[in-house]
Structure 1
Amino acid sequence: MIYAERDENGNIIALRNNPVEPDQQEISTEELETFLSEYDQNKTISAFFRKLDNEVIRVLDDLVDLLVMKNIIKITDLPEQAQQKLGNRKRIRSKIQDNCILDEDEIL
C-alpha cells in the first residue's frame, strides 16, 4: 500500500509505505499517477520503482529462505545462476549486518 503525506493545503509532498497519521487511507491509483506525472519522469519515477523493486527482491530472498528452511524446496532445486545470486546476496547481507553499515530500514 502507498500512502500520501500532504501539506496543509492537501497537496502531496511525499509517498510513504506506511501511514503517517492514524486512519490514513491508501492513495488512489489516479492520484498516484497524477502526482508522479508532475515530476521528472526519468528521475522520480525511476527512483520510486527502483525502491519498490528492491523491497520486492528482499521479500523474495526471505521467501526462498523460508521455503528452504521448511524443506518445501531445496536450494539445489533452483537454477545454478539463481543459487549463485541468492548466495551472493546472503553473504553480502550477512557481512553488512555484522558490520552494521546500514540501518534496519534500509534494504539490501
Structure 2
Amino acid sequence: MPYVKRNHEGNIIALTSVKDSDDDEYLPTTSPEVVAFLGMEPDQDEALRALRESDSELARVAEDIIQVLIEKQVILFTDLPDAVQQKLVSRQKLRSLLNQEGTSLLNEDDLL
C-alpha cells in the first residue's frame, strides 16, 4: 500500500490499497508525494512511526518494572488488578514457550 491514481497533470488524486487499473502506480507510504497528499509533514510522519515503535518497548519496560517491584516485595502480584495479572501471566507463558522453542524475544541482559 498505497497505489496512487494520478490526474492527467501527474498529480496524485487518490490512494488505494489495491491496484485498480494498469495506470495505478505503487509508492511507499513514506514517499514525499504520498505524505504531501495525506497532508502530513514528513517530520510528523517520522514522529508517528517512532512513537508506534516505542509503544512495545515501553510496554516491556513497564513489565520489567512490575517484575522488579514484585521481586523486591514492594508490591504483591495479587495486589495487581485481575486483568493485569492475567496479561502478565499470559505474556510470561508466551515468552517461556518461545524460549523453549529456541526463539527468544529477550536479550541475555533482559529481565524475566
Could you say if the C-alpha distance between residues 104 and 89 of structure 1 is closer, same or farther in structure 2, counting changes exceeding 3 Å?
closer
Corresponding residue of 1:38? 42
Q: Alignment partner for residue 80 of structure 2, among 65, 74, 78?
A: 78
Alpha-carbon shift at residue 97 of structure 1 (Å): 1.9
TM-score where L is the length of structure 2: 0.50
Identity %: 29
Corresponding residue of 1:28? none
Residue identity in the other structure for 1:38: P
Could you say if the C-alpha distance between residues 99 and 80 of structure 1 is closer, same or farther in structure 2, counting changes exceeding 3 Å?
same
Corresponding residue of 2:27? none
Give runs of aligned pairs for residues 1-108 of structure 1, distance below 5 A. 37-38=41-42, 41=45, 45-102=47-104, 104=106
Aligned length: 68
Alpha-carbon shift at residue 45 of structure 1 (Å): 4.6
TM-score where L is the length of structure 1: 0.52
Alpha-carbon shift at residue 37 of structure 1 (Å): 3.5
Alpha-carbon shift at residue 99 of structure 1 (Å): 1.6
Please give the alpha-carbon distance, in whole angstroms, between the structure 1 residues aligned to 2:80 and 2:94. 20
Alpha-carbon shift at residue 53 of structure 1 (Å): 0.8
**Root-mean-square deviation (CA), in Å?**
2.5
Residue identity in the other structure for 1:89: R
Give structure 1 stretches of 5+ with no counterpart: 1-35
Q: Once the two structures are superposed, what CA deviation does each residue of 1:40-80 show, in whole Å capped at 9, x if it has no partner? A: 83xx5544222201111111111111111111100110110
Please give the alpha-carbon distance, in whole angstroms, between the structure 1 residues aligned to 2:105 and 2:82. 31
